[in-house]
Structure 1
Amino acid sequence: MMKTIYKMVSAIFLLAVSVSTIAGFNLNHVLAQNPSNPDPTVLKGAISGHSNNGNTTEPAWIISGVYKFTDVNASSPAFNATFYMINLDGTAEHTHSIYDLKLSGDPVIDSNSNSTTYNGTTTVTLKDGPVSNIPTQISLLDDSAIAITVEGNLTNKHFGSTPIYGTQHLICVEVPDLCK
């Protein structure tokens, strides 16, 4: 009888330790700071996704690159992005940059969706060179994503009819050994 009670107490103890350890790991993960962006005034991240051709909703292009958004809490933050666009079949590789953000008002903060949207204009590099004063919207989505919407009429719908999406993470910052 005593042996059975000892086994039950040991099992309950091990179960309690296991649950508290798992709960502790999850709590630490939730409260962890984004290792790509330890400075709250600077966001660095990856551009990662696809876009359509502006005429259909089907994906036409792979988009991949990086961005840096500095002084995000200032009246004139700086946004710079450079990314590749490649056809889904691997052809027609080319690059674009978006830079020279000029805000047209204060950022719009939506506490319900935990997002902040910056409206303004940017310069966008296209095939024939840079085009200035392109209406652009940059939305920080929670603490993990970004959506960049570039006015389609002034770019001949080159980026399709959906935002350019990305993350607020850079794997080469978080796991440098992968990028050596």
Structure 2
Amino acid sequence: MKITNGLIQTIFLLAVSVSLIAAVNLDQVLAQNPSNTDSNVLKGAITSTSNNGNTTDPAWVLGGVYRFTEFNSSSPAFNASFYMTKIDGTAEHIHSIYDLKLSNSPVVDSSSNSTILNGTTTVTLKDGPVSNVPTQIELLDESAIAITVDGNLTNTHFGTTPIYGTQHLICVEAPNLCK
């Protein structure tokens, strides 16, 4: 079967939709979510596509992990590392996002059951790390995450859409798949 941009978009939208269906509050999910049994740690997978900034069609596939520690404190630590590969399988490289410094308290939106954290991070790019990049991290309900980094400071390297992920790690929940 030939993989087309439309198929990739459909699979991605289906994965995000399934991730957003579960609606429970954070305290309940941390007790039930095998990836996040410690209420002070939130970890999950980067599972995203991004465009090239000139079109909405996916141009890149992103896959990796992220981890918040001291999640319930006023200064949570955030670290993400992920591969970025063109949808044809070429140009694979790695990025990291780390050193989160919150600019204000997290904003909780009870109507959408989301939490938004705004601040700055350091983002690794080809020419080295870029510090003080305005970054928004949104926890979407209890299953997804959206990471938006300022395109001006990253030369729109990650396209014009957020970097999406899940609040789950399959290697924690089904370790036999990762042996």
- For the aligned pair, the TM-score class normalised by the smaller chain equals 0.7 to 0.9
* Residue pairs, 1:49-64, within 5 angstroms: 49-64=48-63
Q: Which residue of 1 aligns with 2:106?
A: 107
| 1:60-86 CA distance string (max 9 Å, x none) | 000000000111211100000000000
Query: Which ranges in structure 2 are unaligned for 5 or more consecutive residues?
Result: 1-27
1:49 Cα shift? Answer: 1.3
Q: Which residue of 2 aligns with 1:87?
A: 86
C-alpha distance in structure 1 between counterparts of 2:115 and 2:99, whole Å: 19
Structure showing greater relative contact order (alpha-carbon pairs closer than 8 Å, 6 or more residues apart): 2
Q: Which residue of 2 aligns with 1:121?
A: 120
Query: Which ranges in structure 1 are unaligned for 5 or more consecutive residues?
Result: 1-29
Structure with max Cα Rg: 1
Size of the alignment, in residue pairs?
151
**What's the TM-score, normalizing by structure 2?**
0.82
Q: Secondary structure at the match of 2:90?
A: coil
C-alpha distance in structure 1 between counterparts of 2:178 and 2:136, whole Å: 31
1:124 Cα shift? Answer: 0.2
| 1:129-159 CA distance string (max 9 Å, x none) | 0000000000011110000000001100000
**What's the TM-score, normalizing by structure 1?**
0.82
1:41 Cα shift? Answer: 1.3
Higher helix share goes to which structure? 1
Q: Which residue of 2 aligns with 1:133?
A: 132
Q: Which residue of 2 aligns with 1:26?
A: none
Identity of aligned residues (%): 77
Letter in 1 for 2:131: S
